[in-house]
Amino acid sequence: MKLNKNHNILIVGLGLIGGSYAMRLKKEGFTVKAITRSQSSIDYAVENGLIDEGSTEIDKRLIGEADFIVFALYPHIFIRWIEENQHLFKSGAIITDVTGVKCSIVYKIQEILREDVEFIAAHPMAGREVYGVENSDDSIFLGANYIVVPTEKNTPEAIELCRSLGEILQFKTVTELSPEKHDEMIAFLSQLTHCIAVSLMCANDTPGLEHYTGDSFRDLTRIARINDDMWSELFLSNREALLAEMESFMTTFNEMYECVKNNEREKMREMMRCSTQRRKRFDKIV
* Closer to its own copies by Cβ: residue 8 or 136: 136
Q: Least distance from C-beta 187 to its own copies, angstroms?
A: 10
Q: What are phi and psi of 102, to 5 degrees?
A: -125, -50
* Closer to its own copies by Cβ: residue 62 or 177: 177
CB 286 within 8 A of CB 142: yes
**Using the rule CB under 8 A, is 144 a contact of its own copies?**
yes
Task: Specify the length of the chain in residues.
Answer: 286
**Using the rule CB under 8 A, is 263 a contact of its own copies?**
yes
Q: Least distance from C-beta 180 to its own copies, angstroms?
A: 13
Q: Least distance from C-beta 20 to its own copies, angstroms?
A: 14
> What angle, 0 to 180 degrees and rounded to 10, lies between the N-to-C axes of helices 103-112 and 75-85?
0
- CA 124 to chain CA centroid, Å, is 5
Which residues 31-60 are close enough to bind its own copies by CB under 8 A?
A: none
Query: What CA–CA distances, in Å, run from 173 to 40, 82, 96, 168, 205?
Result: 34, 29, 18, 11, 40
**Using the rule CB under 8 A, is 6 a contact of its own copies?**
no
Size of the site for its own copies (CB under 8 A): 90
Question: Alpha helices of 93-178 — where are they, by DSSP H?
Answer: 103-112, 156-168
Instruction: Please choose, from the candidates 127, 148, 147, the residue with its C-alpha nearest in 3D space to the C-alpha of residue 137.
Output: 127
Q: Least distance from C-beta 65 to its own copies, angstroms?
A: 33
**Using the rule CB under 8 A, is 282 a contact of its own copies?**
yes
**Using the rule CB under 8 A, is 111 a contact of its own copies?**
no
Question: Alpha helices of the chain — where are they, by DSSP H?
Answer: 16-27, 39-47, 60-65, 75-85, 103-112, 156-168, 179-186, 192-202, 215-221, 228-237, 239-261, 265-279
Which residues 186-205 are close enough to bind its own copies by CB under 8 A?
A: 186, 188-190, 192-205
Amino acid type, 156: P
Q: Least distance from C-beta 21 to its own copies, angstroms?
A: 16
Binding its own copies (rule: CB under 8 A), the pick from 126, 148, 158, 168 is 126
Binding its own copies (rule: CB under 8 A), the pick from 82, 125, 133, 161 is 125
* Closer to its own copies by Cβ: residue 57 or 205: 205
Segment contacting its own copies by CB under 8 A, of 48-56, 72-80, 108-116, 220-228: 220-228
**Using the rule CB under 8 A, is 77 a contact of its own copies?**
no
* Integer Cα distance of 100 and 190 in angstroms: 9
* Closer to its own copies by Cβ: residue 27 or 131: 131
